[in-house]
Amino acid sequence: MTVVSTKEFITNGEKYFDIASKDEQVYIKGGDCMFIITKVNEPTRKYKEPDEDLRRAIPMEQVRDGVIAHIRKRHAQNV
């Protein structure tokens, strides 16, 4: 594990990416935050599980029909 300041990382970023590519974590400390650079061997994809928001979703056709009706109503008011 290597810990560096943000200033040091900005100055020598390539060096720390090389360190991280050799399976060593690099921690960048800046103010109240800390960032971690680590090697990932394969892409990771995280999908959210269906939740209450998805169950309340409405079909795209219904959204489209509602938008068209709203536009027609507003247009009729302005004529």
- Per-residue pLDDT reduced to its tens digit, 7-57: 999 999 999 999 988 888 999 998 888 899 888 776 666 666 777 777 778
Report yes or no on 74 lying in a domain. Answer: no
Report yes or no on 45 lying in a domain. Answer: no
| Structural domain that includes position 26 | 2-37
Domain count, the chain: 1
Report yes or no on 43 lying in a domain. Answer: no
How far from chain centre, in Å, is Cα 62? 29
pLDDT at 44: 65
Report yes or no on 71 lying in a domain. Answer: no
pTM given for the model: 0.49
Confidence of residue 74 (pLDDT cuts 50, 70, 90): confident
Contacts of 59 (CB under 8 A, 6+ apart): none
